Chain A
Amino acid sequence: MEQDHGAIALAAGAPPRRWKFGLGIRPEVAILCVVVAAPLAFPLLLIVQSAFNVGDPEDIPATQFGFDHIIEVADHLDWIGHTLAVSAGGTILATLIGVVLAWILHRTTVPGSRLFEILVTVPYPLGPLVGALAWNTLGSPQGGLINKILSAVTGLSGPFIDTSSMAGIIFVMAIFEAPVAVLMIGAAMQRMDPSLEECSSVMGAPTLRTALRITLPLMLPAILSAALFLFTSMMGSFAIPAILGANSRFYVVTTAIFILFQGYPPNYPLASALGILLILITALAVLLYSRALRGRSYVVVSGKSYRPRRINMRGWTPLLFGFEILYILVALVLPLGVLIIASLQTSSVLSLSPANWTLQNFKYVIVDFPTTRTAIENSLMLGVGTGTIGMVLAAVLALVVHRSGGRGIGLLEQLIMLPQSFPRLIFGFGFLWMVLILPGHLYGTLIPVLLGYVVAFMPLAYRSMAGVVVQLDASLAEAARLYGAGRIRAAWTITVPLLRGGLLVTWTLLFMVSIGEVSASIFLAGSGTQVLGPAILNFWESGGLPHVSALVVTQSLIVLLAMVLVRKVGGGRNDGETAVPKGTP
């Protein structure tokens, strides 16, 4: 028996002390932290410097410092007020739409939920330009299509609706961001244990009471995190206020920054000061967002996927079905419809008779006009490049974060998600400044645009990849290692094939957001490196409705094609889950 005690003596005797301090950050984690942080830290530094610049406003980096421009921000509280009002209003409306749609789709017997589940996600990847241009055509006070028709029908002089007003901007923003809320809240609804509701029903609570007293409170964390996500996204929104607010001179911070840049002379310091303010507000919201997520994991995420009980809404069914139809109508059918019709016109006066329609505008923007042709080519190349580089980087990051323990992993994950706090417009000019300062003369090539996209979209790509990596059993790759495969070989023969679906979804997601990108591109893409988003904006100011519509429709077709392809190739089932940011960090 004595030998047994020998082992115990070893254990209890003198435990080695060194291990307490022996474990530092692994080198690969440290390298990745720097790779992820540097392209954000450097631009941020330049923006902060510029905000305190009291010398030549065009000096980058700045040399003379003071508080003048920080104080000047106080003169423009209206812009900040507009931004907050539009973001708050848009968030509330989009969240409401999201809650109702997610509930109808996942928890009621209202028919058609399979089809609508796909349809409601489409407006988001189409990008903000579709909504902005379409609703500008439909709802502008002068000459908006809906106003014209209503005047003709009722005989009253309009305007009946005004999308150039704050309410109009809120409405358009909300309907185009609502798909994110539907997906995030819908995902939580699918993970909810139905017995929690059944219990309430068994105790005699009527359906509506169960929905309000049990379902809604359980969903509250998911709803809150969706709302905060939308808020940060709307704070940085540019295309919709830029187009809809142009005539009414309704400025938010992002559009004001753009104007300050375009002025002569440009006012970089004030733009930077406003940018920093926006970053601070967004960072605060992101902080709250991650808090909300942390809280949520206790309440809803059981790790299991349930088949939630669907409630028969009886007499309410037509009304709820009507709501779905209405949403698809205002967010998808009307906007795309009006843009398609406009793109077929021979002049800016809309004619509904097919006899006057032409495909000439498409030929013009795709083939004849060099600027737009280059923009389409560049955007396609950038989409492929961003998709490929971003996918590989996101996969590496997701594997490192979720497969290797140790210190620094939490830090790395937070750094990866940091671009979320940068409104893309502000990131865009900070990144541009960095490129101009750094040696290598990269400005004027597509490389800075590509790198900028990869950095800006990394949170999205990472979340998409992390969602799949978490589901992949780690022992599959470990088994390969034991059976003689090295690190690379195990990754290539086991991990990559098993992640194929997730990789494809991530690639497509990056491709789509790159094609639709506007806010960062207006700074990153200069002359000679035109890309679709800014090209559409410029074209809108100068090119006439039929041409710009043709360009937007072309952009939408590229995005839709990518969506269809990923559904066909990727087996369809999981892409809806991961194609748009999920609530999982």
Chain B
Amino acid sequence: MDTMIHAEPFIEVRNLVAGYGGKIAVKGLSLQVAPGSHLSLLGPSGCGKSTVLRNIAGLETPLQGEIIIDGQTVFSASRRINLPPEKRRLSMVFQSYAIWPHMTVMENVAYGLRMQKLRGTDLRQRVAQALDSVGMGEFIDRPATSLSGGQQQRVALARAYAFRPKAVLLDEPLSNLDARLRVRMRTELKDLQQRFGLTTIYVTHDQEEAMALSDRVIIMREGEIEQEGAPLEIYDRPQTRFVADFIGGANILTGTVAATASGQPTIVQIGRAMLTCTTPRAACIAGPQSVAVRPVYPQMARTERAELVNQWPAQVKRRALLGDLVVYTVEWPGGTLNIHAFPTDLFDEGEAIWLHIPPSRAVLLRNVATAGVAGVAA
């Protein structure tokens, strides 16, 4: 699996250190965004993801590092370059939308275009075009304060795209919308992005948004990159317990490595069970380890299938019907396991079953205590 970006990056951040008031929010972070691609910075609040975005935008000044946009260095601590935000030609959509309440919809969208010396009918045409693209064409002469949250969001998007920026930065743009509207806006955002083909950096704490919209996702934690990759790669191959928990949730099984040899699958002893796992790294240190198993992957059956590895007799302890899916708590030789299944074939509480965990779905995690060592070693 090769995750290297082959094309010349459109936005590049090198070794960014940022924060203020003696507090460091971002601790030496580097990232690259390919032209026209969508990168999500995903993490819990306070992980520094918004700080990265605001530093790229020029709203905050980094303490260290370099930021290069479209071949132009907009910030460099060592070369003492710091372009003000208005010279970077980026547009940003804020969590609060930042729709100017003392202006009409037209004036809001036209603001950036006026700065580009657009006037008269050209200006109005561009504004109308942008508003049409978000379905807000008829609102052009409304005062901004008369708009609902979702409408403000659309105007904010129109303003961002009408500006024809080098790249679009989005800072949790959907988090103030209600759940239903959020899903709809997500689709519209994806459409807009495909239509305009602009390089995008998207900050969110919502894993669904990141998964649905992005070409690549960076999971951040405490000012550092925890993991980077394509959405599915992160889902299927979480490297740390943090990523496994944060994306999708997982059963974290702890045990000791029983056997490891190059070319052979790693076997971890979990309770009384010997679990054959997949490991993203070439070699693995013996000793206590954690294994992540996504609740959607274990299979339940009423009969044993001889050909399978990772198969144990087990018992259903609890069953909760959530509508779209059924959540089982299953007791197996390794302890207890949460399983999400479809309500097509229901198992009863107390029923004896056969549990199968596909080895490719049991992912050996990077031990947190040795993460630094492993990182440096790589």
Spell out A's residues near B (CB within 8 Å). Answer: 1-13, 15-16, 18-19, 22-23, 405-407, 473, 475-476, 478-487, 490, 493-494, 497-498
Once the chains are docked, how many angstroms separate the CA of A483 from the CA of B87?
Answer: 9
**Neighbour of A7 across the interface among B90, B101, B225, B372, CB < 8 A:** B225
Are A11 and B225 closer than 8 Å at their CB atoms? Answer: yes
> What are some 24 contacts across the A-B interface (CB < 8 A)?
A4-B3, A4-B229, A8-B225, A9-B375, A9-B376, A10-B28, A12-B372, A13-B376, A15-B28, A19-B63, A23-B20, A405-B20, A407-B21, A473-B98, A478-B94, A479-B100, A481-B86, A482-B86, A483-B91, A483-B115, A484-B112, A484-B115, A485-B115, A498-B100
Contacts of A22 in B (CB 8 A): 63
Given known A11-B29, A406-B21, contact A5–B101 (CB-CB < 8 A): no
Contacts of B95 in A (CB 8 A): 475
**Per-residue A-contact encoding for B85-129, CB less than 8 Å = 1, 0 else:** 110111110111010111000000001100110000000000000
Are A482 and B229 closer than 8 Å at their CB atoms? Answer: no
Does chain A have a CB within 8 A of B280?
yes
Q: Write the nearest CB–CB distance from B93 to chain A, whole angstroms.
A: 9
Given A13-B375, A479-B100, A484-B89; 13 other pairs, CB 8 A cutoff:
A3-B3, A4-B227, A8-B224, A8-B371, A23-B22, A406-B20, A406-B21, A407-B21, A478-B92, A482-B88, A486-B84, A494-B100, A498-B100
Residues in B202-252 with C-beta less than 8 Å from chain A: 224-225, 227-229, 239
Contacts of B376 in A (CB 8 A): 9, 12-13
Once the chains are docked, how many angstroms separate the CA of A485 from the CA of B372?
Answer: 43
Spell out B's residues near A (CB within 8 Å). Answer: 1-4, 15, 17, 20-22, 24, 27-31, 57-59, 63-64, 84-86, 88-92, 94-96, 98, 100-102, 111-112, 115-116, 159, 163, 224-225, 227-229, 239, 280-281, 371-372, 374-376, 378
**Neighbour of A480 across the interface among B4, B57, B111, CB < 8 A:** B111
User: Which of A1, A19, A482 has the most C-beta atoms of chain B within 10 angstroms of its own C-beta?
Assistant: A482
Are A476 and B20 closer than 8 Å at their CB atoms? Answer: no
Interface class of chain B by DSSP: mixed
Q: Give the top 3 A-B pairs by smallest Cβ distance, nearest first.
A: A484-B115, A483-B112, A5-B378
**Neighbour of A482 across the interface among B31, B90, B378, CB < 8 A:** B90
Contacts of B227 in A (CB 8 A): 4
Contacts of B94 in A (CB 8 A): 475, 478-479
Given known A4-B3, A8-B375, A16-B17, contact A478–B98 (CB-CB < 8 A): yes
Are A479 and B98 closer than 8 Å at their CB atoms? Answer: yes
Given known A11-B225, A482-B91, contact A16–B86 (CB-CB < 8 A): no
Closest to B63 in A: A19
Are A481 and B85 closer than 8 Å at their CB atoms? Answer: yes
Q: Write the nearest CB–CB distance from A22 to chain B, whole angstroms.
A: 6
**Neighbour of B27 across the interface among A11, A475, A486, CB < 8 A:** A11
Are A19 and B228 closer than 8 Å at their CB atoms? Answer: no
Closest to B162 in A: A483
User: Which of A4, A9, A476, A485 has the most C-beta atoms of chain B within 10 angstroms of its own C-beta?
Assistant: A4
Contacts of B17 in A (CB 8 A): 15-16, 19
Are B63 and A23 closer than 8 Å at their CB atoms? Answer: yes
Once the chains are docked, how many angstroms separate the CA of A493 from the CA of B21?
Answer: 29
Contacts of B22 in A (CB 8 A): 23, 407
Contacts of A490 in B (CB 8 A): 86
